Amino acid sequence: MRQVGCGIDIGGSGVKGALVDLGTGEFIGERVRIPTPMPATPEAVAGVCREIIDALEVEPGTPVGVSFPAPIIHGTVPFMANLDQSWVGVNVDVLMTKTLDRPCHTLNDADAAGLAEVAFGAAKGVSGTVIVTTLGTGIGSAVIVDGTLVPNVELGHLEIDGHDAEKRASSAQKELQDLSWKKWAKRLQRYYSHVEMLFSPDLFVVGGGISKKHEKFLPLLDLRTPIVPAALLNTAGIVGAAYAASRLS
Ligand code: BGC
């Protein structure tokens, strides 16, 4: 019988949710997207998550996973880089479980993407250390060793040449600073060679919306480690969250 999960991905511009086939990692039916409320306070965002659950008509017994753009330590947000600061100290599991009226499990967005890539995507069956990075507003990172996630590794905030890495090399910075592919790739080169030196990974997987255009920048990088685009693109957060929640229920 098909095992069904539900994932919600909270982002800076949109909150997205879908039912997920946990055997294949594919969506069942349509994805629902609602713009992130402004200000993006915990109550307002949790309310939007509730609307999504209602729109998807999620069965009461279906576990709900929530992907969130900050580290999540046993449910709680220790710091917040790119969403409203009022999230700091909030236990997102408790808030979501109450607002959605069912058990919810929250995890970091890049960790969710990483789990999805290992279970269904570009890192499936890869042994050793896999580092999944998501290039977007910030840089998210997931470290997975022989299939096991090391949660909350924040490689987007490595300090490189005196800068917070994501403030130089995220795809949002490419846009903001109007960088050519070549100029941006130079920054990515600096970033990935530093991470490579620190971790000696077996594989890099690059996600985030911009990975759709991977042929514009991945070939410009010169690394020892193989580097490949993510397979799940914009579904990874939802799928990974649904998958993580199902493993806990
Ligand atoms: C946050 C990470 C998050 C990443 C991508 C960073 O600024 O600190 O937790 O995974 O952005 O959203």
Sheet with strand 14-21: strands edge to edge = 26-35, 14-21, 4-10, 64-68, 104-108
Q: Which atom of ligand 1 is nearest to the CA of 111?
A: 10
The residue segments making up the domain with residue 139 are 122-230
Judgement on whether residues 128 and 212 belong to the same structural domain of the protein: yes
Percent of the chain whose predicted confidence (pLDDT) is above 90: 96
The reply to whether 86 and 155 lie within a common domain is no
Residues 67 and 15 in one domain: yes
Verify that 177 and 243 share a domain, yes or no: no
For residue 87, give the CATH number of its domain: 3.30.420.40
Q: What is the pLDDT of residues 167-217, one digit of tens each?
A: 999 999 999 999 999 999 999 999 999 999 999 999 999 999 999 999 999
Q: Would you say residue 117 lies in a domain?
A: no
Structural domain contains residue 114: no
Q: How many Cβ atoms sit within 10 Å of the Cβ of residue 51? A: 13
Nearest alpha carbon, ligand 1 atom 10: 140
* 223 and 139 both lie in a single domain: yes
Contact 6, 64 (CB under 8 A): yes
Residue nearest to atom 1 of ligand 1 (CA): 70
Give CA 164 to chain center in angstroms: 19
Select from 83, 134, 139, 170 the residue to mutate for testing ligand 1; criterion: most ligand atoms less than 8 Å from CB.
139
Q: Which of 82, 92, 149, 153 to mutate to test the pocket of ligand 1 (most atoms within 8 A of CB)?
A: 82
Q: Kindly state whether residue 30 falls inside one of the protein's structural domains.
A: yes
pLDDT confidence of residue 248: 83
Residue 233 has a pLDDT of 85
Task: State how many domains the chain has.
Answer: 2
* Per-residue pLDDT tens digits for 15-59: 999 999 999 999 999 999 999 999 999 999 999 999 999 999 999
Other C-beta atoms closer than 10 Å to the C-beta of 114 total 33
Q: Are 192 and 131 contained in the same domain?
A: yes
Distances (CA, A) of 83 to 42, 88, 152, 165, 206: 10, 10, 17, 18, 22
pLDDT bin (cut points 50, 70, 90) of residue 89 is: very high
- Decide if pLDDT at 127 tops 90: yes
Rounded to the nearest angstrom, the distance between the alpha carbon of 140 and the centre of ligand 1 is 5
Check: CB of residue 48 under 8 Å from CB of residue 9. Answer: no
Per-residue pLDDT, averaged over 215-236, amounts to: 96
